[in-house]
Amino acid sequence: MVFGGGERLQIFTVNRPKVIYQKFQNEVILINLELGSYYSLEGSGAETWALLESGADRQAIMDQFTAQYRATAEEIAGGVNRFLDDLLAEGLVSPIDGQPVAIHRNGHIAAGERPQFVPPTFTKYTDMEDLLVLDPIHDVDETGWPAQNRP
């Protein structure tokens, strides 16, 4: 999707039903049911996920973090772009067409009061891949689950 100025604004959607997630106080846990990998997002990673979920595009996320944290626009853009590219590479989200939403900020925070920007990251866990892939919900068919192997 291209808007004024030729700049591409990209919004994302969670790759459901293969990706599920749960939000906790300061963390988001994602599970890729096809691969059996799970992910922990904390700090600005969890914040980025919440912004993605609300329909924010790349630029809106960067603008939010620029207002919220101490860092240069280049540092924020680099961190956010790497994180979003990693989510795409892991198959957790996909780009979609649509109108990005406006992010509502609670006023401007004075520069001295803003915390230092820590780029968003996630931790990937693969120790339960075999168990998650064996879950009987993967064998669902139109008659219900688990599907029985029929000759």
Of 11-25, 48-62, 75-89, 137-151, least confident by mean pLDDT is 137-151
Long-range Cβ contacts of 131-140 (<8 Å, 24+ apart): 131/36, 132/31, 132/33, 132/36, 132/38, 133/33, 133/34, 133/35, 133/36, 135/33, 137/33, 138/33
Cα 10 from Cα 57, distance rounded (Å): 5
48-64: per-residue pLDDT in tens?
Answer: 999 999 999 999 999 99
Two tokens, residue 24: 């906790």
pLDDT tens digit string along 80-128? 999 999 999 999 999 998 777 777 655 555 556 899 999 999 999 998 8
Sign of CA dihedral 130, 131, 137, 139: positive
